[in-house]
Structure 1
Amino acid sequence: MLIKRPADIKSSEITPEWLYLRRREVLRGLIAGGSLVATAGIYHLFARAARRPPPGPGPRPLATVSASDASLTTDEPPTDYDDITHYNNFYEFSTAKHDVAYEARALVTRPWTVTVEGDVQRPQTFDIDDLLRRFPLEDRVYRLRCVEGWSMVIPWVGFPLASLLKLVEPLGKAQFVAFETLHDPKQFPMQRGQLLDWPYREGLRLDEALHPLTLLAVGLYGKTLPNQNGAPLRLVVPWKYGFKSIKSVVRIVLTTRMPRTTWREAAPHEYGFYANVNPAVSHPRWSQATERRIGEFTRRPTLLFNGYAEQVAHLYAGMDLRTFY
């Protein structure tokens, strides 16, 4: 059963900003008292930063409203802001989680447009700032479960994907929704190599895309998305493994066919199209029965559909969840 939180608490009110800043002071103190090895490491970091262009504007506050439906959010304690923004999978920048925030500093997120096309009556291209003005931005606290076996609780800011899709009027033959990340090797250093078939692609069934839980996120903790978290616009599908929640989206296509998805093409025996969180279906290389919540020391049981079964299980009625993984 989903735990509900009071609807009048906004994500920007969950963790005081002074606490986050205080963490930085503690870290600086530890570094100052370190050894010569630590000093050499600091010098290396400064030298590295000097070779990089300066970062763009930092996260800005967003005007938000509480979730329109209390069942669309949870009162579980959110993961620390520093952990959310410095423990990231974003392979366009790096395969090392703790390097992503640094490598993503110079990503340019303005101007930014998102094209919605395919089997729709009114294909359109939207400016990101127009989208921020067009829809009420809701606070949604969601659990995030990574296929690697770790999890977080993230206070997102965004609007339902369904709101955007309704503007383009899907045709009756549309059955799936495909998504693409920006393809720009100048900004995404890993796109210069052959690690994956770029750009990153993901997809949903249309009924999944229209579900009220499916969010287009433009912020977290009451502010605009940091680059490393998928700025300026990312998908969030909380009952699926995290790799389904594609980042830095520039293209959405409605189609009659199941779309290509990056990890399914890279390793089809490991990553299925649906990628619903299921503790009974192990990854070929590890169990999915438990997870490590970032910030905790012990593992916890993984919940079917990441704890959202009450809302989404009906979408898969009659399907063998072991086969359609």
Structure 2
Amino acid sequence: MLIRTTPTIPTREITDERLYLDRRAFLRASVGVAAGGVAGALLPTDEAFAQAAIPNVKKSNLSTTGEKLNAFEDITSYNNFYEFGTDKGDPKANSGRFKPTPWTVKIDGEVGKPGDYTLEDLLKRFPLEERVYRLRCVEAWSMVIPWVGFPLGDLLKVVEPTSKARFVEFTTVQRPAEMPGLRYPVLEWPYREGLRLDEAQHPLTLMAVGLYGKTLLNQNGAPLRLVVPWKYGFKSIKSIARIRLTEKQPQTSWNMSAAQEYGFYSNVNPQVDHPRWSQAKERRIGEFLRRDTLMLNGYADQVAALYKGMDLKKNY
């Protein structure tokens, strides 16, 4: 394994002491990372947002520009995270017992370097970026969020996919004592999602550990979640405990529950309606009027080549 669960050299001996202490304070707060490099105008004013800031975060040139950020209250109080309940306010109300630290991600399957990777070691390995992305949910609402994270492709490069690897499967942690929604058979638990390998390796695909320059809150998927900005929000799986590379297309939770409504790809497409509502329009949270839904959520220039020759109505 490339990253040791217990480093043989103490962090304080290989890192500037001031940075070491800053990082330890951050990890104690939530085992995430947040941003000294985020402009002051992006920082939330809500005093309840007491997560530790992550130092040395660089702004990414892959950020979406010209979009007004959603308010911190929107981002942290209107969420889908069924492990804590099915109402939008349930994740914030019911996730207080969830413990995002310490955290380990198992990476296995078709990789040359499988292992159990601690989040702390991942954060030492990969530089962090701030990226503003649109988030579009299949329920026809959207947000604009300043995420902090690192490209999933960088992590996959480290674990060395084999020649058989064609897909990436993600699994959410399963802790019924801390996640009350798991007591109800809304879905087949644990929550699972998947991407094609080339989608996972695309530069836009982000492993997020923070938002608004601070560590992720529990209701937002602490301490580690996926962000795939051109797909509907349920593809961006939260609180990831396992990443497995596979030769065959993995099963995904919503596709298993209702295949006629939720396809494997789940690309944002205004031309393909959900059986129970239109996808042609969306409502940005905090706005009254609805706006046109953008093809691939506005990221078509970057990702359309992934689907060249595919029928995106059939492969919904």
Q: Give the Cα separation in 1 of the matches to 2:57 and 2:240.
A: 23
- Residue identity in the other structure for 1:205: R
SS in 2 for 1:152: strand
Matched with 1:150 is 141
For the pair 1:62 / 2:54, whether they are aligned, the reply is: yes
Residue equivalent to 1:273: 264
2:8 is matched with which residue? none
Q: Match of 1:97, SS?
A: coil
One-letter code of the match for 1:250? A
Residue 182 of structure 1 and its aligned partner are, at CA, apart by 0.1
The answer to whether residue 40 in structure 2 is matched with residue 13 in structure 1 is yes
Please say if residues 67 and 73 of structure 1, whose CA atoms lie closer than 8 Å, have aligned partners that are also in contact: no
Q: TM-score normalized by structure 1?
A: 0.84
1:124 deviates by 1.9
Give distance in 1, aligned partners of 2:160 and 2:185.
37
1:278–1:288 Cα contact (<8 Å) kept: yes
How do residues 80-99 of structure 1 correspond to structure 2 at under 5 angstroms? 80-99=71-90
Contact 2:105 2:241 in 1 (8 A): yes
Q: Is residue 257 from structure 1 mapped to residue 219 from structure 2 by the alignment? A: no
2:119 is the counterpart of 1:128: yes
Equivalent residue for 1:215, pick from 198, 206, 224:
206
Q: SS of 2:194's equivalent? A: strand
Instruction: Determine the C-alpha separation between the residues in 1 that align with 2:67 and 2:91.
Output: 26
* Residue pair 1:63, 1:137 contacting (<8 A) in 2 also: no
**1:140 is the counterpart of 2:140:** no
User: Is the 2:151–2:203 Cα contact (8 Å) retained in structure 1?
Assistant: yes
> Is structure 2 residue 239 aligned with structure 1 residue 248?
yes
Residues 64, 157 of structure 1: 8 Å contact kept: no
List alignment gaps of at least 5 residues for structure 2. 1-35
Amino acid at match of 2:246: T
CA distance in 2, matches of 1:234, 1:84: 15
Select 1:110's aligned residue among 89, 101, 111. Answer: 101
TM-score for both structures, normalised by structure 2: 0.86
Counterpart residue type for residue 263 of structure 1: W
Between the aligned partners of 1:78 and 1:11, the Cα distance in structure 2 is: 13
Alpha carbons of structure 1 residues 11 and 154: separation in structure 2 relative to 1, 3 Å: farther
Question: Which of the numbers 163, 166, 174 marks the counterpart of 2:157?
Answer: 166
* Partner Cα separation in structure 2 for residue 65 and residue 97 of structure 1: 30
Query: In 2, distance between residues paired with 1:176 and 1:167?
Result: 16
Q: Does residue 286 in structure 1 map to residue 307 in structure 2? A: no
Distance in structure 2 (CA, Å) of the matches to 1:180 and 1:71: 26
The count of aligned residue pairs is 281
- Show structure 1 runs of 5+ residues with no match: 1-8, 25-56
Greater Rg by CA: 1
Checking the alignment, whether the CA contact within 8 Å between 1:218 and 1:225 is kept in structure 2 is yes
Q: Secondary structure at the match of 2:84?
A: coil
SS at match of 2:85: coil
Counterparts in 2 of 1:64 and 1:141: CA distance versus 1, 3 Å? farther
For residues 284 and 194 of structure 1, the distance between their equivalents in structure 2, rounded to whole angstroms, comes to 22
Q: CA deviation at 1:60?
A: 1.2
The alignment's C-alpha RMSD in Å is 1.6
Summarize the Cα distance change of 1:116–1:12 in structure 2 as closer, same or farther, 3 Å threshold: farther
